[in-house]
Structure formats: C-alpha cells, structure tokens
Structure 1
Amino acid sequence: MTAVQHAPPGQPAPAAQAPPARHGPGGLGRAPDTPPSGAARLLPRTVAGRVRTLTALTLVLLVVLIGVAWAAIANAREGVRVIGHDAGPQVVATGDLYFQLTDMDAQLANALLIGDAPGGGRDQALARYDQNRRKAGDALLKAAKLADETTENNTARDLLDALARYERLAGQALLLDRQSPHASGPPSQKVVDLYRQATDLMKLDLLPKAYNLTLDNGTLVRHTYEDKRSAVLLGRSGILIGGLALLAVLAGFQLFLARRFRRLLNVPLALATLGTLVLVSVGALMLTDQAGHLRQAKEEGFDSILALSRTRAISNSANADETRFLLDPGRADAYEQVYLSKSQTVLYLKAGNLTQYNAAVQKSLSFEPGRAPFLGFLGTEADRPVESSGPDAELVDVMRRVLADYQKVQANDRRMRDLVNGDRRDQAVAARGAAAADFARYDRSLQDLVRIHRKAFDEAVADGDGGTSGWYAVLPIAGVVIAALVLVGVRPRLGEYRWSK
C-alpha cells in the first residue's frame, strides 16, 4: 500500500501536485505523443526530423524535375538541329543535285537532237546545260561539306569523279556533232554511241550515287525525328508526373506545418508551390509545342520537299526520255517503256501500256484533300489532309494546277508518239520543241508547291530554335529560387521548435 502523507496538527494538508505539463512548439500544451502507426512510421519520430525529411524529399523531387526537363529540352534541340540545320538541308541539297544531273543529260540530248536547225534552240539548251553543270558542282561541294561520315565523303568524291567523266563524254559528243552538222534527222551513229556512253554513266553511276546521299541522310532524319520526338513527349510526361509529385509533397508539407505550428499559411512555401506549378505548366506546354514543331518540320516540310524534289527530277528525266526516243531510234522501245515507268512513279494509274496510261490521265484527276484516287508521288502529296482555309487552301489550289499541267504534258507526249508512228518524225521533233513550254509550266507549278512546304519547314525550324531559347538559364534559376523559398519557409519553423524546447 502507498503511504498517505498527513499534515501536522494545526496545519492545512498540502495540495496535490499535478504532473508537470509538457510543452509543444509555440509553448502550447499537448498530450504525450502516441506511438505512430501506418505511413507515419516511415517518418522520423521528432517534428524537427520530419521537417528535415520533407525538406530533403522536396529538394530531391525538384532536382529530378529539373533534370527531366533539361534532358527533354536537349532532345528537342538535337532534333531541330539534325532536321533543320544538318541532315535535313543536306538531303534537300542532294535532292536538288539529282534534278540538276538529270537536267544536264536532258539538255545534252536536246542539243544533239536539235543540231543546226535554224531557231531550234541549241544554244539555249547548251546554256542551260552549263548552268546545271555549275549548280551540280556547287551542290556536290555543299553535300561534301555537310557530310559528317566517311562513307558520305567517299560518295561525294566518287560523284565528282563520275561527273568529270560524264562531262568529257558529253564534250566529245558535242564536238563530233558540230563536225558533222545536221538540220534534220538523228545525228551520226558515232555521236549517238558517245551519247549512249554518257547517258548510261549518268543513269547507272551518277544518279544512283546522288540518290544514296539522299537516302542515307533521309534515313538519319527519319530516325532522329522518331527518337527525339518520342523523347520530347516522354520528357513532357516525366515533367507532369514529377511536377505533380512535387506539388503533392509541397501541399502536404504546407498542411503539416500549419497543423504543427498553428499557422494557416507558410508564405515562402506557398510561393514555392506556385513557382513549381508555373514551371511545370509552362515546361509541359513548351515541350508540347516542340513536339509539334518537329512534326511540322518533318512531315509538312521535309517529307514534302524531298518527295517533290524527287518528282521534279523524275519528271525531268522522263521528259528527257522523250528526246532520247527521238534521238536514238535503236533504243526507242526501251525509252518508251522507261517513260511509262517514270510517269507511273510520279502519278500512278493502273495501265498496261503507255497508250492506256495516257487515256487514264486525261480523265478527271479531281480529288478531295486526304482522299486522292491515284498513287505515286503526286498521289502522296494530294492525300495529305489539310485545312480548308489559310495556307492549306493555297496548297490545294497549287496541287490542282500541277495535275492540270501534268495532263497537258502527257497529252503532248501522246501527240509526239503518234506523229512518230505515222512516219512524220520531223513534225514530231517540232512538236517536241513546242511542248517545252507546257513542261516548263508544269515544273514551275511543282516549284510553287516546294516553296509552300519550304516556308512551313523554315517556320517550324525557326519556332523550334526559339522555343527552347533561354531554357538552359531558366531551369537552374527556377530551381534555385524554388529551393531557396522552401528553405526560407522551413528555417524559422525549425528555429521556433528548438526555442520551444
């Protein structure tokens, strides 16, 4: 039993002493701590320890958020660099090279076919040949300068060597043709043999190498686009997830401090939460825009520019096959079949021979954007879904003009071949010359399409460059500011806790 203390006689009994009060933060009394349960067991037992743990967790999540954003921006910048400034322009340059090489061979054939016929345009053909020769040389030098791999450099050097051999054969054919002038009929067989060597060198050596340059860099552009755009979108998801986690921790931190320290709002922590919300929102929006810029540069710009450059080159080569058909009767059947194959590459319609193909082309080529009833390069271009107003409306109008001009080109081809089949070769040569204006109009329409897509490409690249401008400075500054606000908000509470103890 416990002894009961009695007061001496004549004195009041002493008052019972209450147990000493325990003081919590701020000098307010609270009941003794109860053992933690559930998720609380993961946190330190003391309030100060929990504050420090939440502070560390906040800073770690902030660092992760900044790191994810930094990596996503780096991927976006790399994608814009490759597509807009490196491999993309190199592909465009080699695409132009392909056209210039085919036009060189076409103008050589025109000059040899025309001969010394008065007013035939031989001088104009030779002037255009020289112009394309210079442009081809410039394009080769540009491609060699942009090449960053040994194989590309070797291909560019091989092209220069093959171009020199082609020019030597072309010069010999032109010189021999001048020594045996002709105003009508094909040139001498020796001239034709030299031209055959030159055009075979062009078709079997020069053009495949030029296409290899385009193909290699086109593959690089495609892979870069797929990888970097996916990385940008993944980074955006990472920013949103990391940002939401950080906001949740900051909100929980705010509630914890309010409950423990009896204050409704920790202003620095609230500002840190607001700054995080702004950073996450603006960062996610910026990466969404960057993914859109990459898509526009690749799909609405680069792809169409490359396809239309190939269309121009193949159309020009097919146009030259008409001249070869007249220039070299020994290979007329082969040139006719090659013309059909190239024509179907440009615009595919099912046909068993050139006569059937021309009849199919002369039917209506009307189309609805996104639902073209024909295939080939022009079918792919017409099949792109577009808006009904703005720049897309201009694109559709120009595309319809291209198709109308293409019908005229094919009608002229049919007329020329009918004249040859009717033993009126001289009239066929004259008709071939008269048809040059229609082909030039068709080529200008193709160039108008290229200009529209080139504008979209340049705008997307410029927007991509500007979209990430300054972010390498914004991210560390924002990180330091948010971290400083968190520390400023926490430090007085820790000091208050220590003082209250």
Structure 2
Amino acid sequence: MSNIIAVLSNKNHQFTTPQRLKGGLYLTGATSLLLLIATISGVQGQRHAIKTVGENSTPSIVTAQRLKDAFAGMDANVANELLVPAGQNQDAVKGYEERYQKAAERLVAAAENITYGDKERKPIETMQLGLGNYIAKIQQARDFHARGDTNAMLVAYRASAEVMDKTLLPAADELDKVNIQVLEETYTDQKVAANNSLMLILISGAALMIVLVGMQIFVSQRMRRTFNPMLLAATTIALAFLTYTTGTLQSAAENLRTAKEDAFNSMHDLRQARSAAYIANAAESRYLLDPVFANNYEQAFFSNIAQIAQIPHGQTVETIAAAYNSQAQKVDGFKGYIADELNNITFAGEKEANLASLVTLDKYLAIDQQIRQLERSGKHQDAIALCVGNKPGQSNWLFEEFKTANQKTFDINQVAFDKAIGQGFSNVDGFEIKTGIAVGMIALLSFLGLLPRLKEYSN
C-alpha cells in the first residue's frame, strides 16, 4: 500500500493530480471487477459441488444400494417360499411382492435421476432387462414347486439365482460405482478449488482495500480534507463484504464437508451393510433349499457377513461395544462396514444405534449356527422352521431387528446430511446478486467521492 500512496502523493511524479485521481478510479474499478469475478466463480463452484453431492450423486448411490436390497430381498423371500410346500408361507410371498414393488419403484427413480449419461443409463437398462428375466425364471420355479417337481424347481431357481448374482446385483454395484466416482472426484476437486477461490478473493479484496485506503490518504494529504465520506463508505462496504464473503464460503465448505465426510460416508457404509445382510440372508435360505451347492452358499453367507463386521481374535461383540462406549476411537482388527461407521461417529444417537445393529447381527449369527447344526444333524424341517420363522428369536425376526437398527442409524445421518446440504445451498443462495450489489456500490461510491475533486480541477 505504501507504494501506491507514494505514487499518488509524489508531487514530482509525471502524472497530474486529476490523472492520479482518474488512475485511482481505474484501479478501483479493476480490483472491484477482479473481486466480482473471483467471488462469483467461487460461489458457483461451491454450489456445483453441493448440488453434485446433495442432489445428483448421493440419491443415485442410495437408490443403487436400495435396488440391491430389493433384489436380494426378492431372492431371500422366494427361497423361503420354495423351502416349504406351496402356499404355506404367505409371509414370504408377501415379502417377495413388496420387494418387487420396491425394485420397480427404485428403477424408475434411478432412471429419472440420470445425470452422467450412458455410465448410469447402461446399468439401469441392464437391471430393467435382467429383472424381467429373473421374474420369468422365478415363476417357472414356482410353477414346478406347485406341481411337486423338486428337481425342475431347483433347475429353474438356479437359473434365476444366476441372473441375480451375475446380472442384477453387479449392475446395481456399477450404478453405485459410477456415482461414487463422480462424487469423490467433484468433492476432492472442489476442496482444492474452494481454497484457491478463497485465496483469490482475499487477494483481490485486499488489493481493493489498499486502493481505497490509498485514495483516501492521497485525497487527505493533497486536498487537506480529513476524510472523504464516500470513499470511507466504499471502504467500509468493501471490508464488510470481504469479511462476509470469506465467512460464508467457509461456512458453505464446512457444510459440504459435514454432508460428505460425516454423514454421507456413514450413509454409504450403512447401505452397504444392509445390502450385504440381504444377500447373506438369501444365501442362508439357499443353503437349505439347494443341498448340491450348500457349501457355496455357506461361503457366500459368511463372506457377506465378514463385509458387515469381522470380529478380531480375542474380542467379542460385548468387548467391542464396551470399548466404544468408553470413548475409544477404534478397536484394532475390527473391520467391516459397521466398524467403518463406528469410526466415523459424529451425531447424537448414532453410536448407540450402530452398536445395537452389531449386537443384533451377533444374535442373528448365533441363530444361523443353530440352523446349520440342525441341518447337519438331519433335522432339515427344524432347520427350515428356524430359518423362515418370524417369531422372536427366529432368523427372519432377528434379521428384521438388524434392519431396524441399521435404518435408525441411517436416518440419523440422513437428517444430518439433508440439514448440511440445505444450509450449504442457503449459504450461497443469491450470492451473485449480493456480490453485484456490493461491488457496484463500492465502485459508485468511489466515483461519487472523487467526482467533486475532479470537478475542482476542471474549473
């Protein structure tokens, strides 16, 4: 600033006083324009990131995971239906229809939220075609089951299971992957861009302040006026706007961080856990339905359970829960989606709900062990009854308990996510207009402040 003041006040300088006043106006205009461009660019970048995270990618990611839930739920229910004589498990029939309805609704929702072209469109089309093929093969299995033709039923069911495992579930994963990639890239890029924009805003704002203060000092020294009210007002507005802008953009960035890192990351882990639980539940029923491939289904069950929670040697669910309840940040060796979520606890009630899902999963696993012991000891019908049962202490009842605890944790994060995204949008809402008004006022006040001084030299 001292250099600007020296240039403006040096009487031996080649420029006249009017020229210096006009030069000050030009500098004010230039730095104001730079501040305008930097602010609008920063605001628009922040809004784009909030929109990508809050409206484009996250809904598609959650929809993809819910599609996996719906598909695996259809498979588990139809397997439960086929485990008993035709018409004797209406709960499974109803569950299959409910899951099918959810799958159809979510496919429509996914199609209505296509943002990234063929990358999203192709897996959605694959799911649409695959679902029709799956339903046709399931109907064949049901028809053979009604006729009492077990071998033909199993052949048809295996064909449907192949569609489920090799087409529907992978396509849902692909839809998830596409949107996750865009979300992560956008969020990472925006963190860098936000820092750069904020730096440019601070530099351009500081330059504008230096020019305004320099002009104020020049006018005071050259024309013996203590203050130029218009320049003082312009300087005050510039300072207030710069403070407000940096604070607002930092607040928007923090809201975006809360939505992405605190809420969404947990939401994704929870949906992944739920999907894996649905697939495991279906594998448990397949284990009893198709003895030829029982070992494969048993491996699939434990593989998906390990994705949800893997308890390290020497630990139990009780010791892990006690560790987290005693404010431990992490339990060494504890892995899986539940562990990832427990290591990202942020919101009130989140830890308790997630620990409840872990405890329920442990109880579900204990029942699964009973099912397998009954099956291995030749008590096939008892194993089926425990597997498809919806009474307290039975497998499907505990599965529903796990889903309830998982959903409660998810809802806590969803509320926090929606709040953070809403506040982020509110931060930048109409900011271009506010910027234009503020910068316009600064330029106008500077002009009005120096115009009388220029007129003095024109007379």
- Scaled by the length of structure 2, the TM-score of the pair is 0.92
State how far apart, in whole Å, the 1-side matches of 2:37 and 2:12 are: 27
SS of 2:320 mapped into structure 1: coil
Shift of 1:155: 2.3
CA-to-aligned-CA distance 1:45-85 (integer Å, 9 cap, x gap): 31121111122111100110011000011011111211111
Q: Which residue of 2 aligns with 1:437?
A: 397
Which of 327, 333, 337 is the equivalent residue of 2:295?
A: 333
CA contact (8 A) 2:267 2:414 kept: yes
Are 1:164 and 2:148 an aligned pair? no
Match of 1:415 among 363, 370, 375: 370
SS of the aligned residue for 1:212 comes to: helix
The residue type equivalent to 1:129 in the other structure is Y
Call closer, same or farther: CA 1:77–1:362 in 2, change over 3 Å: closer
1:404 to partner: Cα distance: 1.1
Q: How does 1:200-211 map to 2 (within 5 A)?
A: 200-211=162-173
Q: CA RMSD in A?
A: 2.1
What code does the residue aligned with 2:297 have?
Y
Structure 2 counterpart of 1:395, one-letter code: E
The counterpart of 2:417, out of the listed 454, 457, 479, is 457
- CA 1:116/1:41 → structure 2, altered by over 3 Å: closer, same or farther? farther
CA 1:425–1:269 in 2, change beyond 3 Å: closer, same or farther?
Answer: same
Write the distance in 2 (CA, Å) between the matches of 1:42 and 1:350. Answer: 81
Write out aligned runs for 1:470-485 (5 A): 470-485=430-445
Residues of 1 paired with 2:226 and 2:287: CA distance?
90
Which position in structure 2 is the counterpart of 1:59?
29
Match of 1:106, as an amino acid?
A
**Conserved 8 A contact 2:317-2:358:** no
2:97 aligned with 1:130, yes or no? yes
Once residues 237 and 64 of structure 1 are traced to their aligned partners in structure 2, the CA distance between those partners, rounded to angstroms, is 12
Q: Could you tell me which of 5, 10, 15 is aligned with 1:45?
A: 15
| 8 Å Cα contact 2:287-2:298 kept in structure 1 | yes
CA displacement at 1:377 relative to structure 2: 0.6
Aligned position for 1:428: 383
After TM superposition, list the pairs within 5 Å mapping 1:5-44 onto structure 2.
44=14
Partner residue in 2 for 1:228? 190
**Per-residue CA shift, 1:250-269, capped at 9, x if unaligned?**
11111111000001101100
Matched, 1:146 2:113: yes
Partner of 1:364: 319
CA contact (8 A) 2:126 2:167 kept: no
Distance 2:316 2:7 in 1: 81
Between stretches 168-177 and 126-135, larger displacement belongs to: 126-135
Partner secondary structure for residue 311 of structure 2: coil
Deviation of 1:43 after TM superposition, in Å, equals 6.2
Tell me the distance in 2 between the aligned counterparts of 1:397 and 1:288.
31
Give 1:206 shift.
Answer: 0.9
Structure 1 residues 395 and 337: alpha-carbon distance in aligned structure 2, compared to 1, 3 A threshold: same
* Rounded Cα–Cα distance in structure 2 between residues aligned with 1:195 and 1:303: 36
Report the count of equivalent residues: 443
1:192 corresponds in structure 2 to 154
Q: What's the CA shift for 1:364?
A: 2.5
CA 1:385/1:99 → structure 2, altered by over 3 Å: closer, same or farther?
closer
Distance in 1 of aligned mates of 2:38 and 2:100: 50
Segments of structure 2 that go 5 or more residues without pairing to the other structure are 1-5
For 1:208 and 1:221, the matched residues in 2 are separated by 20
- Equivalent residue letter for 1:478: A
- 2: CA distance between counterparts of 1:116 and 1:132? 19
Q: Which has the higher helix share?
A: 2
Alpha-carbon spacing, 1:43–1:99, altered in 2? closer, same or farther (3 Å): farther
Quick one: distance in 2 between partners of 1:260 and 1:87?
59
Aligned mate of 1:347, from 305, 309, 312: 309
2:46 corresponds to 1:76: yes
The AA in structure 1 aligned to 2:406 is L
**How many angstroms does 1:350 deviate by?**
4.8
Deviation at 1:127, TM superposition (A): 1.1
User: What is aligned with 1:113?
Assistant: 83
Q: Partner of 1:365: helix, strand, or coil?
A: helix
Shift of 1:37: 9.0
Opposite residue 458 of structure 1, the aligned amino acid is D
Q: Which of 1 and 2 has greater Rg?
A: 1
User: 2:318 & 2:369 partners in 1: Cα distance?
Assistant: 14
**Counterpart of 2:353?**
398
Is the 1:140–1:156 contact (alpha carbons within 8 Å) kept by the matching residues of 2? yes
Residues 8, 20 of structure 2: 8 Å contact kept = no
In 2, the alpha carbon distance for the partners of 1:71 and 1:345 equals: 42
Q: Is the 8 A contact 1:101 1:136 kept in 2?
A: yes
Q: Which runs of 4+ in 1 moved over 4 A?
A: 36-44, 359-363
